[in-house]
Amino acid sequence: MTQAVEEGLALAPDVSARLGELADFVADGDVVVLSGAGLSTESGIPDYRGETGRRRRATPMTYQMFTGSAEARRRYWARSFLGWRHIAGARPNAGHRAVAELQRRGLLAGIITQNVDGLHQAAGARDVIELHGGLDRVVCLGCGRRTPRRLLDERMLAANPGWDARVDAINPDGDAVLADEQIRSFRVVDCADCGGVLKPDVVFFGENVPPARVRECYALTERAGLLLVLGSSLAVMSGLRFVRRAHQHEIPVAIVNQGPTRGDAHALLTLDAPLGPALTALAAAL
């Protein structure tokens, strides 16, 4: 299938050869995709550990900081109030569309994403397991009610008439980089039902993924014909554990990422290439 890859998109010969090998594996079906932030960088969303992340040197908000300090919550929501527009305005790139196309052809057994941007679904993918939740939802830490992010956005807009700030940069979790003086005047709103603290429905650093969700991902991994990692450095155990589980069950692992990953030692095939062009070529080869 190497020739088909080369015809689908001009790539370096060694990349084309490896994509041909990968296409042979994917053609057998039952592929479980595990995607990370590197898949969304071509949509303008930076990552933490790739090239865009290294340029920003972002320090993420932790669960302990968010729940333990009203000022930390003010800082988060002020930054997120502006940064959310960047995430909401992002569009799926060629990599997301290629994954959705592979699913449409019946080659995928499931999609697990570490991303919180909803771009897999926007590209047409179905039944995506959002390992770390989604930024398009908000949860109350008091009563547990979940509501659409757009409703919170409307309430924050009403509570902060005329508030604006200059955005210097956008961090991977969707918050804008703002100066402290711009944050002080921002008003945070609480749950409309119980007055509890509102949090984006995502797993913060220092917070655990819900156990039932982890079990679902383990079960999907163990039934896979191939675990295909896309755009993840696997630097944290949250994603790496599924690669290790696949290896333990003698399920082949393939990794497409820009740069090395912590899972490379367990992979049957690794490919260092831009995700959009590589996955477009992969889809063209099948």
What are the boundaries of each domain within the chain? 1-45+91-132+207-286, 56-89+134-202
Is 217 one of the annotated binding-site residues?
no
Q: Model pTM?
A: 0.89
Is 231 one of the annotated binding-site residues?
yes
Q: Give me the residue label for tokens 């109350």.
A: 140
Residue 48 pLDDT: 63
Is 139 one of the annotated binding-site residues?
no
Residue 203 pLDDT: 95
- Residue-wise pLDDT for 236-267, tens only, equals 999 999 999 999 999 999 999 999 999 999 99
Residue 127: CB partners within 8 Å, gap ≥ 6?
110, 111
Instruction: Name the pLDDT band for 58 (thresholds 50, 70, 90).
Output: low
Q: Given this structure, which CATH class describes domain 1-45+91-132+207-286?
A: alpha beta
Residue 197 pLDDT: 98
Task: Give me the chain's average pLDDT, please.
Answer: 89
Domains 1-45+91-132+207-286 and 56-89+134-202 share a fold: no
Is 140 one of the annotated binding-site residues?
yes
- Segment 27-47 shows an average pLDDT of 94
Instruction: Name the pLDDT band for 173 (thresholds 50, 70, 90).
Output: low
Residue 270 pLDDT > 50: yes
Residue 53 pLDDT: 44
Residue 49 pLDDT > 50: yes
Residue 61 pLDDT > 50: yes
Residue 169 pLDDT: 61
Catalytic entry in 132, 247, 249, 266: 132
End-to-end alpha-carbon separation of the chain, Å? 8
Q: Bridge-partner residues for 33, per DSSP?
A: 111, 228
Q: What is the CATH number of domain 56-89+134-202?
A: 3.30.1600
Question: Do 45 and 122 contact (CB within 8 A), yes or no?
Answer: no
- Residue-wise pLDDT for 215-233, tens only, equals 999 999 999 999 999 999 9
Q: Give me the residue label for tokens 């490919």.
A: 271
Residue 177 pLDDT > 90: no
Question: Do 61 and 175 contact (CB within 8 A), yes or no?
Answer: yes
Is 64 one of the annotated binding-site residues?
no
Instruction: Name the pLDDT band for 91 (thresholds 50, 70, 90).
Output: very high
* Residue 200, token pair as written in the block: 């984006």
Q: Give me the residue label for tokens 């909401």.
A: 88
Instruction: Name the pLDDT band for 17 (thresholds 50, 70, 90).
Output: confident
Residue 46 pLDDT: 81
Question: Do 257 and 233 contact (CB within 8 A), yes or no?
Answer: yes
Q: Name the more confident of 181 and 158.
A: 158
Residue 5 pLDDT: 41
Residue 12 pLDDT > 50: yes
- Quick check: is 266 catalytic? no
Is 259 one of the annotated binding-site residues?
yes
